[in-house]
Chain A
């Protein structure tokens, strides 16, 4: 079974500080990992996917298969980064559904 764990429900940092949102997954095969962001009163938006290896809004995430992790990082947090962040997994070659973690609410304080 596929499972995504985001150990932190809430994360609070100050503007300019580094931020890391943790995501661990459980899946025996080869996963595809995503980060979605949900700003206040807005829809979920795709932030990153691991196969793209890109940086969006200063965020990066590296898939670590040894540690089964896909942590989201940003060196200098901004107030506009405050949002709910969801890590999601899709089994490659299997069902197309995304399995989501329960999310981490990030608050960036001025």
Chain B
């Protein structure tokens, strides 16, 4: 078990709604990464935090935001949801730069 915990496992919501996905990194890991996995786009990097601060930004929509809290857990907020936001959202963590990423089981979001 890699130790990265994501909740909830599944989320079904309607268009226009807002949801929050939560990630607890492995003990000792300071970096948290968020990825979106969809059938046609594969794994897309969204955003990275390191010890509470935003470190890198990828293809993250303005409707999406994230933060990392002092206890190092992270939340990804998705608002004004659209059908196309349906995907598997993965969180990963690493100790520091240059070390491998360890992934959580993901949150499957279905927007109806």
Residues in chain A within 8 A of chain B (CB atoms):
32, 34, 36, 42-46, 49, 86, 92, 95-103
Contact = CB atoms under 8 A, between A and B. Distances in A.
Given A95-B56, A96-B56, A97-B58, A46 B102 contact: yes
Given A100-B43, A102-B42, A43 B48 contact: no
A46 to B, nearest CB: 5
Contacts of A95: 48, 55-56
Q: Is the interface of B mostly helix, strand, loop or mixed?
A: strand
Interface string B47-66: 01010000110100000000
Nearest to B1: A43
B94 interface: yes
A78 B50 CA distance: 39
Given A43-B2, A44-B90, A86-B43, A98 B101 contact: yes
B97 A45 contact: no
A96 B42 contact: no
Given A43-B2, A44-B90, A46-B100, A97 B105 contact: no
Contacts of A36: 103
A94 to B, nearest CB: 9
B31 A98 contact: no
Contact of B98 (A43, A44, A46, A96): A96
A101 B48 CA distance: 18
Return the 9 tightest CB-CB contacts between A and B, nearest first: A102-B42, A100-B43, A44-B103, A95-B56, A96-B97, A43-B103, A43-B105, A97-B45, A46-B100
Contacts of A45: 2, 103
B89 interface: no
Contacts of A44: 90, 92, 103
Contacts of B94: 96
Given A44-B103, A45-B103, A97 B43 contact: no
